């Protein structure tokens, strides 16, 4: 096997071990603990990712890749009907949220006290907001935004209404089922920003 294949395999092994450890223990897991879980040295983690922040960034991107979330968004954006397009994009995201929740919940909690966590979280949320901006732009293009909504405001509203934090409050704090939370978020967003 080539060095590139071995390197890729090692990186993915570190990311998978880090995901499992963080899901179990929280995002404050140390590089030493992650290295031990992956069966490598601390130095190897730094060689592959440069810093704890680089590891966290790669970890979140790996989750996106495994969940194929951006492929699902692309499919949703290809829908011709604006209401169907919005619903398909929300369906894609809300189906993905439970998969990332064990790690996302802890990252949200730690981002105010940990610069590496904050940078990794901001990177992923900025990319997600970019998707919602594409959705809002497509709705505006099709004259499907309700009166008074700008593209930017619609994107912000979708991003906030469908956030990990909103989903977590509904399902964990209020005990809603996944199905009920998804239905309410989609209905709330659609009724609020789409033209009648």
pLDDT in tens, 149-187: 999 999 999 999 999 999 999 999 999 999 999 999 999
What DSSP string runs through 67-133?
Answer: HTHHHHHHHHHT-SSHHHHHHHHHHHHHHHHHHHHHHHHHHHHHTTT-HHHHHHHHHHHHHHHHHHH
Secondary structure (3-state) at 145: strand
pLDDT tens, position by position, 49-84 = 988 888 888 888 888 888 899 999 999 999 999 999
- For the chain, how big is the Rg over CA atoms in Å? 19
Question: Which residue's entry shows tokens 């709705």?
Answer: 139
Which positions ≥6 away from 73 have C-beta within 8 Å?
89, 92, 93, 131, 134
Confidence of residue 93 (pLDDT cuts 50, 70, 90): very high
Contact yes or no for 14/40 (Cβ under 8 A): yes
Do residues 112 and 118 make contact, with C-beta atoms less than 8 angstroms apart? yes
Residues 8 and 91 sit within 8 Å (Cβ to Cβ): no
Query: Whole-angstrom Cα distance, residue 157 to residue 146?
Result: 13
């Amino acid at each position: 096997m080539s060095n590139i294949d071995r390197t890729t395999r090692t990186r993915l092994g570190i990311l998978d071990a880090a995901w499992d450890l963080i899901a179990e223990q929280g995002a404050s897991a140390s590089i030493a603990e992650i290295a031990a879980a992956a069966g490598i040295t601390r130095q190897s983690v730094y060689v592959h990712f440069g810093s704890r922040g680089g590891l966290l960034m790669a970890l979140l991107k790996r989750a996106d890749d495994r969940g194929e979330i951006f492929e699902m968004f692309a499919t949703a954006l290809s829908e011709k009907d604006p209401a169907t397009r919005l619903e398909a994009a929300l369906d894609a995201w809300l189906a993905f949220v439970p998969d990332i929740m064990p790690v996302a919940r802890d990252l949200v909690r730690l981002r105010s006290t940990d610069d590496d966590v904050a940078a990794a979280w901001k990177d992923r949320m900025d990319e997600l907001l970019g998707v919602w901006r594409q959705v809002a732009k497509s709705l505006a293009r099709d004259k499907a935004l309700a009166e008074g909504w700008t593209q930017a405001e619609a994107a912000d509203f979708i991003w906030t209404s469908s956030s990990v934090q909103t989903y977590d409050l509904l399902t964990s704090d209020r005990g809603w089922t996944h199905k009920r939370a998804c239905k309410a978020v989609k209905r709330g967003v659609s009724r609020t920003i789409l033209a009648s």
